[in-house]
Chain A
């Protein structure tokens, strides 16, 4: 066998999940990522195809490429597979098959996107991703989760429609469906519009403001284990397709930098622990988007930026999963998710706290943790391009990241109050084990970055552990800590919700419903009444057309008389007309059977004449 699609390992494994029971099922669930990992390992060693196109199918005069393999697709596939192992271990105690099925459809379809070599295959897996993710939200089975899920899928269907529209326009203008870098220029020709639409579809999945609100809206409402899956695939899948489709698009540099800061600002205001972390997904994905924007192909700084974006996606998936696992563990045992309702849990769940903190050090970019070796690559790329404002925004976002994820959230959850806010204990063993493995991987990559650097698409000439990098990062983080300590009272949670761009469609949605219920409905009733009046009139006339006509004629005559002569005489006429109306339709002439048939034949022969005349006119 030349090659096997790692995504299909998951997709083909899904139907077996409901069949298996107990330990067998757990072993099966864990074995799928291991199998996919083995396939990937064989690919990167060159035993299976490691560069090129395979699994090519003819489709409507084009070719679908299910296996577009190169270093970029392999590195993304690696992290998706590794993360899926940790995540399924975290979810192993879940009894409900549907949750596992949704999770593995989600993982499998993301791998489908990663290896898609054409736009139709990409779109196909893109849609499965959106739908399977939706079920990870809905399985929470709360009203909030249902509502957030509906909003989630509406946004993603819009994004999918943009993508499909773009793909079809692209096909129309270029005649090709091959997934390769798109042209992104100003101007309204059809080819540009195709690029814009495809970019819009990608940006919605990457959660770029103002198209990001679905993420902070839906992820915190998902199931405890489902949210861990959600953190990894949709946004990082979008980063992958952005690297493939729009490397070096300058717009992305700025959007990414804005994203990085935007997420941080909103995280300050957040009270729900998973929503706080969700805003930090937006912030961290900002680094990657910015990296894609700086990734001009064929330049040293560009290759650095693309490497940085891919490496940061890799590291981010691991530490963000760890952070969501930690927050999820707290929610699982306490059934609470708000900082104002938590606090003082350190004594009852110290292991969770320490494992969470590994994730927090990683996301903040502490030396020896994986965020340090990847985030600094993107920041370094911005320095190489001499973009001072982008550099300051990205560094500033690091401050905010440590402030919330590393300080505010753990402080509010595990400390603040002397007494624990509620009863708590360590979560089930499988959850702790999953957190342990993920924490180990975060540290391993931080200590030994070569493992990751060797997988990156371009050769890495970057050394993270220089004295200057370590010292400046330590200064930045330690002095952030001092500022936090001074302002820690101000940073306690507040029982509020924060308005974000979802306000527009949540409120606009209500306005639309109001518009449908009130003005639109009134208009419909009015039109309905008018049409029915005409119908009634026609029915009334047809009951006795001769008398009906004379009544109508009398009405007109009386109207004219009322204008011309005095009203006394008109009154008599009106009374007479009233009598006539009451007796309507009056005695109808009885037709014999023969008479009826004669009339019908007459009508038919008129129709025939009409037909022949029209035929004649057409010929001439």
Chain B
């Protein structure tokens, strides 16, 4: 885990250094934030997990034998 923490810190500092020294081409306003990618990665990941799980639990996820059960119901009719 220490490697990961070191990487986090390095990439974070790297973001500021890049902005100070290499002046990358800015296409969108958020690219002026040196830590935008870190923020987007963290928040985006949480949103994907929670959003998808909500969608799944309330609507899309069914029991494993969902389709077999439907088949059975049909043959009983």
Contacts and interface: CB of A to CB of B under 8 A. Distances in A.
Given A471-B18, A497-B61, A264 B28 contact: no
B11 A475 contact: yes
A506 B53 CA distance: 24
A466 B14 CA distance: 12
Interface residues of A, number: 50
B45 A479 contact: yes
A588 interface: no
Interface string B47-71: 0110111011001111110110011
Contacts of A498: 56, 60-62
Contacts of A478: 4, 7-8, 11, 38, 41
Contacts of A500: 60
A490 B45 contact: no
Contact of A466 (B22, B42, B56, B70): B22
Contacts of B14: 467, 470-471, 474-475
Given A265-B55, A268-B52, A514-B77, A471 B46 contact: no
A53 to B, nearest CB: 40
Interface size class of B (residues with CB under 8 A): 35 or more
Interface stretch (A89-97, A291-299, A311-319, A396-404): A396-404
A396 B48 contact: yes
Contacts of A490: 49, 53
Tell me if B's interface is mostly helix, strand, loop or mixed: helix
Contacts of B55: 265, 269
A510 interface: yes
Contacts of A391: 27-28
Given A468-B24, A471-B15, A475-B35, A497 B7 contact: no
A521 to B, nearest CB: 13
A332 interface: no
Contact of A513 (B10, B46, B51, B74): B74
Contact of B24 (A265, A466, A483, A494): A466
A484 B49 CA distance: 9
Contacts of B15: 471-472, 475
Given A466-B24, A475-B12, A475-B38, A268 B45 contact: no
B22 to A, nearest CB: 5
Interface of B: 4, 7-8, 10-12, 14-15, 17-18, 22, 24, 27-28, 35-42, 44-46, 48-49, 51-53, 55-56, 59-64, 66-67, 70-71, 74, 77
The 5 lowest CB-CB distance pairs between A and B, nearest first, are: A468-B24, A483-B45, A268-B52, A479-B41, A475-B37
